[in-house]
Amino acid sequence: MSVQKESNAVIDYGDLEVTGGISVFSKEFDKAFYYDGDDLGLIYTAELSKFRLWAPTASEAFVMIYSDWNSERGEKIPMRRDVKGTWVARVSGDLNGKYYTYLVRIGKQWNEAVDPYAKAVGVNGDRGAIIPLSETNPPGWSRKKPSFRDAVDAVVYELHIRDFTIHPASGVERKGKYLGLAEKGTRGPQNLPTGLDHIKELGVTHVELLPFYDFATESVDETRLDEPQYNWGYDPKNYNVPEGSYATDPYRPDVRIRELKQMIQAFHDEGIRVIMDVVYNHVYDGYLVNFTKLVPGYYLRYTADRKFSNGSGCGNDTATERPMMRKFIVDSILHWIREYQIDGFRFDLMGLMDIGTMNEIRNRVNEIDPSIIMIGEGWMMETELAKDKRANQLHAAEMPGIGQFNDGFRDAVKGDIFVFDRKGFISGEASFKERVLPGIVGGIPYDDAISSFALQPDQIVNYAECHDNHTLWDKIELSAESESDEVRRAMHRLASSMILTSQGIPFLHAGQEFYRTKNGEENSYKSSDEVNRMDWEQAAWHKEGIEYIRRLISLRKEHPAFRMKDAESIRKFLRFEKAPDHAVAYTIRRHANGDPDENLFVLHHAGRSTGEIPLPGLGSWRVLFGGELIECLTDNSLTVDGIGTVVLASGKSRR
């Protein structure tokens, strides 16, 4: 078969005689070699270790057993060719504490690679580790998860494990580690709760953690943790193993597993679920990844001239549509659920993945726990996959139960993220008033004029900032240079309140509650701790911002009207009301339809002058939120002064 050479890398796709003349790039390859068993990788017991590798194009295969993570010589165990392109080997005796790789001959090349299905690895993930996973469970690991049912009941809080505790004033002992996030009772400046206590105090239901699978050594070298290093982790290396730099000892394969479980258990104990940020759309290096070494040409997408598809901008795109890649992704997701009790997944660049794979994941997850959340970046991106198969916003109707990030609402609220000085609704751009309405109704087809890409509210994730691009505060500084910090903070609070009072799934970025800044850095994926860390001193300066978000989250939890479960209810109960140019107002009318609950009136006011808003005749109105903006309130009118959100209620109180 052909040999590819690019970027000083040579790939031999193997001898066609091995596959009976079937090319690895053909559809016939999948029909001939798809393996549906559940025993790929290593099955360990103290008496016997069984290995099964999928490598149809290999003409020879061996398991290499090593005594240590860096020992030069290993024992070479022959593998026997078995069904559907798999190779098997059985090793008697107890291999606990040993390390292993696979060695395969592809054409004229010998390639050594880590088992893609490895569930434990040595330092820097260059060899699989053989350990009994059952011995990595911390005390209390079998406890019940926090109760949860519907995705729209979630309040998602995104954070980076190292960022959250690394600040000198965090009060956390194990800074930057899994166990640092598990510490309770930590305090920062002015006795401010930090770490886990801070998250619990906010009242969020889910934390979404930036990647914590094992990512590339070139990003963070686990043997040099005493040196300054930083990365977000969107560089997949070993998908089924925790990253070692967040462990107290990356050299011991069991430690990273046990300590990650301890962190997850700590969140669960506090009633908080855990969402895992996963990156199945690309790998760190398409030439060096274990997939390419073991079955070159299969797991990644290629152009017609055999170059890597690169819609990700990271050098390659994975071929999620190919059955064995799809199987790997599904198996990986199920592993994280079963072994680590993960409660949700955020799919990076989901628009590069295929619809079939996303639906297969959703279906398999539902068999275990339908309350597990699935959300992703459904951006419209170019890749070597038919447009009608891409898992993006255009095809939300084909992916029920999967939420997608709402960039339209984000940009309408704060201004285009790629045009730094462009204003949005919160900064007084009245033309954006109509553009925020689809986000408020959860992206559903509300009427002929108001709709987005979602069919149901659980298919949309509303947000104003995330780890990508400028923080909300930095965007406001760039687009509202002439404003005072007091006015900017009011804009910031308005953006957050619009997210937390809209239908759909609300999403917050860690530090959004205290106007987090990265000092203007737009893409801080490998910047210093000083740029990325949660600044607990700044948090102490802005306790009012933290309290504002805490009250909003509490308001959302107390009033189911902000989290209606289906599009029909939103169309039935939510009505937009008359409001000035720089304001949006709406009611959620319950009792008019026979429901005894109260009516709600919501005003998002971005105007700089006093605004008078007529109130519908639904009884006597009382203030639930934003009373500091109100100058006058009667049964028929509301007068406000300032930028922010006001929520009123009439009818039967929920308290």
Residues marked active site are found at: 348, 377
The rounded distance, in Å, linking the Cα atoms of 318 and 585 is 45
Q: Which amino acid is at 447?
A: D
- Residue identified by tokens 């078969």 is 1
The rounded distance, in Å, linking the Cα atoms of 595 and 482 is 47
Dihedral sign, Cα of residue 64, residue 70, residue 71, residue 72: positive
Nearest to 239 by CA among 280, 208, 272, 205: 280
The count of other CB atoms within 10 Å of the CB of residue 367 is 8
Beta carbons of 556 and 506 less than 8 angstroms apart: yes
Q: Which amino acid is at 503?
A: Q
Beta carbons of 374 and 347 less than 8 angstroms apart: yes
Dihedral sign, Cα of residue 286, residue 291, residue 296, residue 297: negative
State how far Cα 413 lies from the chain centre: 22
In this structure, the strands spanning 128-129 and 99-106 are antiparallel
The rounded distance, in Å, linking the Cα atoms of 303 and 318 is 12
SS3 26: coil
Beta carbons of 485 and 529 less than 8 angstroms apart: no
Question: Which residues partner with 109 through β-bridges?
Answer: 106
The rounded distance, in Å, linking the Cα atoms of 387 and 393 is 12
The count of other CB atoms within 10 Å of the CB of residue 593 is 9
The rounded distance, in Å, linking the Cα atoms of 57 and 104 is 9
Beta carbons of 19 and 26 less than 8 angstroms apart: no
The rounded distance, in Å, linking the Cα atoms of 598 and 561 is 9
Question: Which residues partner with 259 through β-bridges?
Answer: none
Per-residue b/e over 85-104, b at no fewer than 16 CB within 10 Å?
A: bbbbbebeeebeebbbbbbb
In this structure, the strands spanning 622-625 and 644-650 are antiparallel
Burial of 181 (0-12, 13-18, 19+ CB in 10 A): buried
Per-residue b/e over 554-581, b at no fewer than 16 CB within 10 Å?
A: ebbeebbbbbbbbbebbbebbeebebbe
State how far Cα 590 lies from the chain centre: 34
The rounded distance, in Å, linking the Cα atoms of 566 and 152 is 10
SS3 539: helix
Tokens read off for 346: 């955020």
In this structure, the strands spanning 273-278 and 344-347 are parallel
Residues 6+ apart with CB under 8 A from 235: 215, 216, 218, 219, 279, 284, 314
Question: Which residues partner with 296 through β-bridges?
Answer: none
Tokens read off for 640: 């406000």
